[in-house]
Structure 1
């Protein structure tokens, strides 16, 4: 778009001379046509570098999700505690959703790169593939946020009200909750099919999203407000629930009598630590796109975007690039933040800092007991 804008401004400066001299008219026309041809070549150049990055990202995401899925399925099959099993069911579903959400949009973006669709004429237009890609972006964006929120709420109830949790939370209800989450995200993604919003190609023409940069209408603003509002609300609820869970566990640990052991609490610690990791990852990866999309739609609708169009285009590209890393980083939360890994980190930190005999000694290694002997060798 920057190149296109430069072309338009250059042409407007040259055209006034056309009326004054016929000889210059031919030269100017030739210059403009040559410049136009040059700009087209710029956008039609092979995007091997971009395609390589997409392939590398997809490969890394697939490998990460497969490793995390193996760990979670193995832990789920060995788990006998109902609360832990429910958490693992949510976590496994999240990893599967992340895997599919990484492969499908990634494959479509790769196809656009290889077909040379990164041209300015694709912007503000739409087709069947753009509709599907835009819907995938919305669906696979909301699903992890909804699941992270549901997992945080479930753990908050389990930590603060364990008896109520044991009577309310079951595997069947957890599966129903997952179905509702998928259905809710799908309902939002399909709104453009009912003319309630629209998807369009975004600069540089290699991805599709809600129309937020130009020709934005009231339904588009409402659509992006719904999408961003649901996403930001999910992150806020997860933050509150994880904070309550973390503070409850810390207070319970500080009040515990020295010498007493409650290995069951180690499961809660592990789950809350993983939830905090998921929440932090989601905030870093998705918040920019949610906020930038909302800002762009509002400024475009009010007509104040003006000369800042290229700036908002850059923000949107940065936001979607960060969002794609969510499916890559989420699996590493389960790979790295397990009890066996946490126990090793604790022992190393305790040895390095010489914290024996301090209040941190209350967090003894037995707080992270491993119920599976093979956990240490899994990753």
Structure 2
């Protein structure tokens, strides 16, 4: 496989050659190679160690991402299954279930591979197969999660703006069909680098793999722009649809009436509001965590800015943070949890008001007794 432009330099200790690469392709790190990525040298001889690099890029953040993200998504799945009798697996909750599964796969798939590279002194293990697997998982789950979040916004938009059409024409089947269609689309997208449209390459600092964001051929460039455009399009779709839903909520005074003017139940109005709040926070998380990766891909592929491998690493970690936060947003913003917190807060406030009234009454009575004694 072509390794790109290569220059050999004598090692300061003599005997060993230093090979500099502008791009690190999908290949194993052979012993005796020193891989240069954006002025960062990684020496890998037999039984080599890289203490300075290990300190600069510790494994602990990646391990914590796996711990909190995995536990959060598993907890979200447990809650969804436990409360299924209440939500009856309506379309919105089927989409939430698919999102939790996608986020869980997006963490359990690539992160253990990355951790194995960290604990092996920044040396890649598993060869081309593990690199292809990691890149495939990141592409597939990242785009699937973004499209599912956009589908959830579409679900609430249809339910609020076109309630009759939504309840009569769209049932639970539309959610299942949508999940399957989005999964197939993301699967095709993730398979394109495996079929020669772009390629999967090692990324700085050699602990993760993703598609080539610096492709020179037409197919590779097309894939980069397609992936970034779809990602940004999903975020834009969430922003537009959620804004339209909020407009309806405000205009109808928190949905006291539905689209036909009929009065809606208090529980149904509250459920709609909680779902929209969840989607708005989810949209903000995707905008902050997911969008920078898409922008970075456009910058790298278009050569608009300078090559910055560290920024590529940081935006990928930020994108994975999105899959960590998604389940906790659902856990903390679901109707039952928020209602319980509000009720406890109201009881605490009411208890404080009761104690203040009681102390005020006792003070008033004692003052009246003192006044009566003085006048007597």
Which bracket does the TM-score occupy, shorter chain normalised? 0.7 to 0.9
Partner in structure 1 of residue 223 of structure 2: 223
How big is each residue's C-alpha offset from its partner over 1:105-142, in whole Å with a ceiling of 9 and x where there is no partner?
111111222333458xx9xxx82221221111110110
Partner in structure 1 of residue 69 of structure 2: 61
Partner in structure 2 of residue 176 of structure 1: 177
Task: Name the CA distance, whole Å, in 2 between partners of 1:254 and 1:264.
Answer: 11
Partner in structure 2 of residue 100 of structure 1: 105
Local SS of the residue matching 1:40: strand
Local SS of the residue matching 2:210: strand
Task: Name the CA distance, whole Å, in 2 between partners of 1:140 and 1:170.
Answer: 26
Q: CA deviation at 1:204?
A: 0.6
Task: Name the CA distance, whole Å, in 2 between partners of 1:190 and 1:76.
Answer: 34
Local SS of the residue matching 2:290: helix
Is 1:314 aligned to residue 310 of structure 2? Answer: yes
C-alpha contact (below 8 Å) 1:156/1:241 kept by paired residues: yes
Q: Among 70, 86, 92, which residue is 1:87 paired with?
A: 92
Partner in structure 2 of residue 338 of structure 1: 334
Partner in structure 2 of residue 244 of structure 1: 244
How many residues in Structure 1 have an aligned counterpart in Structure 2?
310
Partner in structure 1 of residue 200 of structure 2: 199
Query: Which structure has the larger Rg over C-alpha atoms?
Result: 2
Partner in structure 1 of residue 280 of structure 2: 276
Partner in structure 1 of residue 367 of structure 2: none
Structure 2 CA distance for partners of 1:255 and 1:71, relative to 1, 3 Å: closer
Query: Cα RMSD (Å) of the superposition?
Result: 3.3
Task: Name the CA distance, whole Å, in 1 between partners of 2:254 and 2:177.
Answer: 37
Q: CA deviation at 1:39?
A: 6.2
Q: What pairs with 1:17-56 in structure 2 (closer than 5 Å)?
A: 40=43, 44-45=49-50, 47=54, 50-56=58-64
TM-score of the two chains, using structure 2 as the length reference: 0.73
Unaligned runs of 5+ residues in structure 2 are 1-6, 19-33, 35-40, 258-262, 350-376
Local SS of the residue matching 1:270: helix
Is 1:208 aligned to residue 209 of structure 2? Answer: yes
TM-score of the two chains, using structure 1 as the length reference: 0.73
C-alpha contact (below 8 Å) 1:44/1:118 kept by paired residues: no
Q: CA deviation at 1:103?
A: 0.4
Local SS of the residue matching 2:110: helix
**Higher relative strand content:** 2
How big is each residue's C-alpha offset from its partner over 1:277-317, in whole Å with a ceiling of 9 and x where there is no partner?
21111111111111101111110xxxx76xx32xx212211
Task: Name the CA distance, whole Å, in 1 between partners of 2:301 and 2:191.
Answer: 19
How big is each residue's C-alpha offset from its partner over 1:198-227, in whole Å with a ceiling of 9 and x where there is no partner?
1101111111112124x6332222111110
C-alpha contact (below 8 Å) 2:293/2:319 kept by paired residues: yes
Task: Name the CA distance, whole Å, in 1 between partners of 2:103 and 2:176.
Answer: 17
Structure 2 CA distance for partners of 1:350 and 1:211, relative to 1, 3 Å: farther
How big is each residue's C-alpha offset from its partner over 1:45-86, in whole Å with a ceiling of 9 and x where there is no partner?
254873333222211111111221122222223335xxx721
Greater shift, 69-78 or 186-195, is seen at: 69-78
Task: Name the CA distance, whole Å, in 1 between partners of 2:145 and 2:167.
Answer: 25
C-alpha contact (below 8 Å) 1:289/1:319 kept by paired residues: yes
Local SS of the residue matching 1:209: strand
Is 1:287 aligned to residue 283 of structure 2? Answer: no
Local SS of the residue matching 2:266: coil
Unaligned runs of 5+ residues in structure 1 are 1-7, 12-27, 353-379
Partner in structure 2 of residue 111 of structure 1: 116
**Higher relative helix content:** 1
Task: Name the CA distance, whole Å, in 2 between partners of 1:90 and 1:218.
Answer: 35
Structure 2 CA distance for partners of 1:30 and 1:110, relative to 1, 3 Å: closer
